[in-house]
């Protein structure tokens, strides 16, 4: 119980820090948020009224405390640009981000496990070296560079996939689902290429360590087939830290999704952030970052708790 409470307090502290940094950073953006939603030639009286309506006429410290008070009540404020609750704006975009990040994580795990097993069972061979080199290279890639490259080659040059949006506007019924999958390929592939390298390398190293354990040697001595030793005995223990790494990588995945959605005009939370920056829509920016930060903190908290339950040694740390 103490372990869970400690992790929960750390998560709440991290979330508070993220909320605070986000609040002050968005107010460093150049420009006047009032001018983004009203006539630049407005009178000074009208501008003052709009600032008062938005609560921007108050000292920064007062704005911060008011925002925290609203946040505790689950109120993310009203969008400056759209004049609707920020929660409504984000909930309209959230399903698309979940589809993208969920698909990317699923593909990463499905490909990462067999590639990691292949490298570990052929350690120090040419297959292992190729997989390691590819994995290290993938880890060093920049999301926008990968996205633009795939867009140009597979979208513009070859014309295999759409280069923007999430679904064809005129698609209905089963055709709409196929269109959604068609549009999902390039954004998902961009994220998978970034995530896959680290997952494969982690899978490889943990499996090599597991294959050196005594229980593996005992299984071999009993005549268990090499394939069964790997997939039924060693892999089961190697998956625990690998699964943990997958949970902890959610932060990288979320950050990559924000950039990927911007590149491909994918209508998720990341695209909402991009649009809000251009419109100086502070409430949407703050709400989006708070939502993403909360998702990452929650994922890390659940990962820590799950790992602590599965491995009691962690509870003492």
List, for residues 166-175, the tens digit of each pLDDT value.
888 777 778 8
The verdict on 249 and 144 lying in the same domain is yes
The verdict on 189 and 300 lying in the same domain is yes
Residue 163 has pLDDT above 60, yes or no: yes
Supply φ then ψ for residue 212, to 5 degrees: -95, 0
Tell the residue number behind the tokens 């590149």, with chain if given.
Answer: 263
Number of H helices, E strands in the chain: 13, 0
The pLDDT of residue 1 = 64
Average pLDDT of span 125-154: 86
88 domain-assigned: no
The verdict on 161 and 223 lying in the same domain is yes
The verdict on 59 and 108 lying in the same domain is no
The verdict on 265 and 150 lying in the same domain is yes
Q: How much is the mean pLDDT over the chain?
A: 80
Residue 61 has pLDDT above 60, yes or no: yes
Candidate ranges 27-36, 78-87, 301-310; pick with highest mean pLDDT = 78-87
With bands split at pLDDT 50, 70 and 90, how would you rate the model's confidence at 306? low
The verdict on 247 and 217 lying in the same domain is yes
**Angle at CA of residue 252, ends 168 and 71, nearest 5°:** 85
The verdict on 50 and 122 lying in the same domain is no
Number of domains in the chain: 2
Q: Mind listing the pLDDT tens digit for each residue in 180-206?
A: 898 899 999 998 888 888 888 888 888
Q: What is the CA radius of gyration of the chain?
A: 24
Q: What is d(CA 184, CA 103) in angstroms, rounded to the nearest whole number? A: 9
Instruction: Quote the tokens at residue 212.
Output: 């050196």
The verdict on 120 and 241 lying in the same domain is yes
Residue 268 has pLDDT above 60, yes or no: yes
Average pLDDT of span 287-294: 85
Name the DSSP class of 234: I
Average pLDDT of span 11-31: 81
Supply φ then ψ for residue 247, to 5 degrees: -65, -40
123 domain-assigned: yes
Supply φ then ψ for residue 85, to 5 degrees: -55, 140
81 domain-assigned: no
Q: What is the number of other CB atoms lying within 10 angstroms of the CB of residue 241?
A: 17
77 in helix, strand or coil? Answer: coil
Final residue of a structural domain among 73, 102, 130: 73
Average pLDDT of span 296-303: 77
The pLDDT of residue 186 = 92
The verdict on 36 and 178 lying in the same domain is no
79 domain-assigned: no
Nearest-10 crossing angle of helices 269-279, 282-310: 150
The verdict on 284 and 151 lying in the same domain is yes
The verdict on 60 and 100 lying in the same domain is no
Q: What is d(CA 69, CA 62) in angstroms, rounded to the nearest whole number? A: 11
The pLDDT of residue 310 = 57
Lowest mean pLDDT among 7-16, 109-118, 236-245, 255-264: 236-245
With bands split at pLDDT 50, 70 and 90, how would you rate the model's confidence at 247? low
Instruction: Quote the tokens at residue 167.
Output: 């679904």
Residue 90 has pLDDT above 60, yes or no: yes
Final residue of a structural domain among 73, 102, 127: 73
Q: What is the number of other CB atoms lying within 10 angstroms of the CB of residue 163?
A: 17
With bands split at pLDDT 50, 70 and 90, how would you rate the model's confidence at 307? low
Q: What is d(CA 33, CA 81) in angstroms, rounded to the nearest whole number? A: 9
82 domain-assigned: no
Instruction: List CB contacts of 15: < 8 A, sequence separation 6 or more.
Output: 290, 293, 294, 297
Q: What is d(CA 68, CA 50) in angstroms, rounded to the nearest whole number? A: 22
Supply φ then ψ for residue 155, to 5 degrees: -100, -55
Residue 37, domain extent: 1-73
Lowest mean pLDDT among 26-30, 206-210, 269-273: 26-30
The verdict on 197 and 101 lying in the same domain is yes
By C-alpha distance, which of 277, 273, 279 is closest to 291?
A: 273
145 domain-assigned: yes
With bands split at pLDDT 50, 70 and 90, how would you rate the model's confidence at 283? confident
Instruction: Give the percent of the chain with pLDDT over 70.
Output: 85
Average pLDDT of span 229-248: 73
Q: What is d(CA 189, CA 182) in angstroms, rounded to the nearest whole number? A: 12
The pLDDT of residue 206 = 83
Instruction: List CB contacts of 224: < 8 A, sequence separation 6 or more.
Output: 233
Q: What is d(CA 79, CA 53) in angstroms, rounded to the nearest whole number? A: 12
**Chain centroid to CA 141:** 16
């Amino acid at each position: 119980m103490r372990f869970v409470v400690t992790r929960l307090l750390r998560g709440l502290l991290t979330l508070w820090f993220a909320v605070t940094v986000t609040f002050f950073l968005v107010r460093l953006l150049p420009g006047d948020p009032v001018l983004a939603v009203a006539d630049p030639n407005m009178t000074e009286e009208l501008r003052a009224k709009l600032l008062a309506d938005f609560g921007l006429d108050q000292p920064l410290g007062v704005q911060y405390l008011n925002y925290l008070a609203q946040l505790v009540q689950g109120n993310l404020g009203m969008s400056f640009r759209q004049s609707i609750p920020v929660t409504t704006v984000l909930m309209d975009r959230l399903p698309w981000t979940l589809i993208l990040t969920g698909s990317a994580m699923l593909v990463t795990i499905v490909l990462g496990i067999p590639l990691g097993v292949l490298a570990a069972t052929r350690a120090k061979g040419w297959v292992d070296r190729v997989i390691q080199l590819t994995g290290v290279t993938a880890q060093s890639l920049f999301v926008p560079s990968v996205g633009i490259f795939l867009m140009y080659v597979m979208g513009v040059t070859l014309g295999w996939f759409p280069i923007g949006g999430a679904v064809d506007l005129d698609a209905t019924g089963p055709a709409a689902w196929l269109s959604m999958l068609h549009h999902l390929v390039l954004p998902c592939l961009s994220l998978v290429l970034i995530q896959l390298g680290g997952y494969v390398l982690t899978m490889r190293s943990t499996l090599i360590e597991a294959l050196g354990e005594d229980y593996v040697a005992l299984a071999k001595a009993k005549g268990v087939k090499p394939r069964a030793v790997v997939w039924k005995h060693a892999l089961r223990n190697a998956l625990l830290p690998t699964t943990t790494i997958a949970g902890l990588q959610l932060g990288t995945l979320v950050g990559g999704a924000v950039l990927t959605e911007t590149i491909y005009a994918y209508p998720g939370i990341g695209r909402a952030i991009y649009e809000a920056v251009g419109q100086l829509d502070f409430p949407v920016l703050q709400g989006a970052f708070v939502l993403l930060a909360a998702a990452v903190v929650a994922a890390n908290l659940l990962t820590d708790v799950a790992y602590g339950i599965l491995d009691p040694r962690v509870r003492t740390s």
